[in-house]
Amino acid sequence: MKQFYLLLSVLFMSAGLSAQTFVNSAAADGGDGTSWATAYNSFDDALANTASGEIWVAAGTYIPAGDRFEIGTSLTILGGFAGDEPSADDRDPLMNFTTFSGDVNGDDVAGDLDSNRMDNKRIMYIDSLIADGVVIDGFVFSGGTTLIDTSSDASGAIADFSGAAIQSFSPVIVENCAFFANFSDFGPLVLLDPGTAGSRVNTCEFAGNFG
C-alpha cells in the first residue's frame, strides 16, 4: 500500500512539473516546449499547443507571426526568465527583458511614433468567454500599433480597433509589465471590454506611448 501511495505521489509531482510550457527565442528549432532544453523558440507555437496552465518565456523579443498573438484559453503567462530556472520564483523581469513587440521589420525609430509604422501590428488579443481569465506578468510591450482609417468605418465600431498593446474581451490581470513606444490611433493602449470585470493592471510602467 505504501508503494501505491508513493507511486501516486510521483505521478502527481510529474504532472505538476509538466504543467509549464517553455519558450526561449534562442532555442533550436523543433522543440516541444516541455522543458527549457526543448523549449519552443516561438511564442505562437506555445499558444497553439497550450490549452491551460503556465507559459514560461525567457528573455528575448517575440513578434506575432500573424496579425497578433491570440489567446483563447485561461493561461498564466510569465516573462523574465533567463532560461534555466526550476521555479517561477527565480525569474527576474528587471534583468531578463522579455519583450512582446509589434515592430515586424525592427525599424522603429526611438522617440518617433510616426516613422516606419506601417509594418507594425497590434500585439495581443484575448478572446471572449474565458471564464477563469488570463494572467500576464513580467513583460515589455513595445511597438504595438493600430492605425485606423476612420473614413472607411461607417459602422461606428472604431473602438473595436483600439488596444495597440492588449485588446481583451475576457478578464485579464496584467502585472509587472512595461509599455513603451506603442501607438493606438483610437482608444487606449490596453483595451478592456465591458465583459472583463475583475481585470486589473498592477505595478506597470507606461512611457513614450500614444493612446
The whole-model pTM stands at 0.87
Supply the pLDDT for residue 149. 56
Mean pLDDT for the stretch of residues 187-196: 88
pLDDT for 50 beyond 90? yes
pLDDT for 194 beyond 50? yes
Q: Which residues contact 11 (CB under 8 A, 6 or more apart)?
A: none
Q: Given phi > 0 = left and psi -120 to 50 = alpha, else beta, which region is 103?
A: beta
DSSP state of 196: -
More confident residue, 154 or 161: 161
